[in-house]
Amino acid sequence: MGRSPGRTDAMPSAPAQAADALREAAERSPSTADTLPETADTLAGSADGAAPDAVVAVSSPARWYYRGTAPMRRLHWAVTRPAGRLVSRYGLRTRIDPRGWAVDPLSPVAAAPLIAPTPLLIVHGDRDPYFPLDHPRMLASAADPATSELWIEPGYGHAETAASPDLLTRIADWAAAHA
């Protein structure tokens, strides 16, 4: 994972980014080093474009353009306002294309049932400052109950910055068991 050379569309690269994050976690945590690289390959799918064996959604929104929390309002200011994009570019070293998405992607809630029959794990913290608990619950309600699981993690914040080695190991074990 690194800086974008320009316009970025996060959707196609998300599995690869998850795989990279798991590989980086394995490097930081020797106890998970044996299982995470294979799990990363499971989640990212194969190089020939085949579907992944399992999907893990961590701290995922249920709908685009959500502005119900202060961090998301700040994010939208940074993305939608010229001054915000300037702060993002020079303060955060992140370039944001002012044109936005060429076409709005399918909403996460609409995409969730399309993942089946691939196993889906939704992991969300009860202390996520970006997306409240209605987001993972909406995703879980939309997903196929036969092939999906929802984990609400007590004390967990948002995404990889809040993930403990224990949680990463549990996710890796789940993905390995569902591959």
Confidence band, pLDDT 50/70/90 cuts, at residue 78: very high
- pLDDT for res 77: 94
Q: State how far the Cα of 78 lies from the Cα of 81, in Å rounded to an integer.
A: 6
**CB-CB contact of 165 with 100 (8 Å):** no
Q: Do 49 and 109 have their domain in common?
A: yes
Q: Read off the pLDDT of each residue in 130-150 and give the average, rounded to a whole number.
A: 97
Answer with the residue of higher pLDDT: 122 or 95: 122
Q: What are 150's strand-pairing partners?
A: 122
| Residue 43 and residue 124 in one domain | yes
Residue that is last in its domain, among 76, 104, 132: 104
Domain end (from 82, 104, 126): 104
| Average pLDDT rounded to a whole number, residues 149-173 | 92
- Is the pLDDT confidence value at 37 over 50? no
Residue 97, SS3? coil
5: in domain: no
pLDDT of residue 100: 78
Range of the domain at 74: 65-104
pTM of the full structure = 0.71
3 lies in some domain: no
**What is the predicted pLDDT for the residue at 32?**
45
Stretch 158-167: mean pLDDT: 88
Give the pLDDT confidence score for residue 174 in this predicted structure.
96
Q: What is the tally of structural domains in the chain?
A: 2
Does any domain span residue 78?
yes
The verdict on residue 39 lying in a domain is: yes
The reply to whether 69 falls in a domain is yes
Same domain, 165 and 95: no
Which of 54, 78, 104 finishes a domain?
104
- Confidence check: pLDDT of 178 > 80: yes
Asked whether residue 20 falls in the same domain as residue 60, the answer is yes
Instruction: Give domain status of residue 45, yes or no.
Output: yes
Query: Of 146, 161, 155, 142, which is closest to residue 58 (Cα–Cα)?
Result: 161
- Residue whose token pair is 């995409």: 111
Helical residues (DSSP H) of the chain, grouped into ranges: 10-28, 36-44, 70-80, 82-91, 108-111, 134-142, 165-177
Q: Specify the pLDDT at position 54.
A: 93
pLDDT value of residue 28: 55
Instruction: Look at 20-34, 91-105, 114-128 and tell me which has the smallest mean pLDDT.
Output: 20-34
Mark whether 154 and 69 lie in a shared domain.
no
Do residues 97 and 46 both lie within one domain? no
Looking at residues 20-36, what average pLDDT do you find?
Answer: 51
In a domain, 1, yes or no: no
Residue 4 lies in a domain: no
- Give the orientation angle of helix 36-44 with respect to helix 165-177, to 10 degrees: 60
Please tell me the predicted confidence (pLDDT) of residue 23.
54
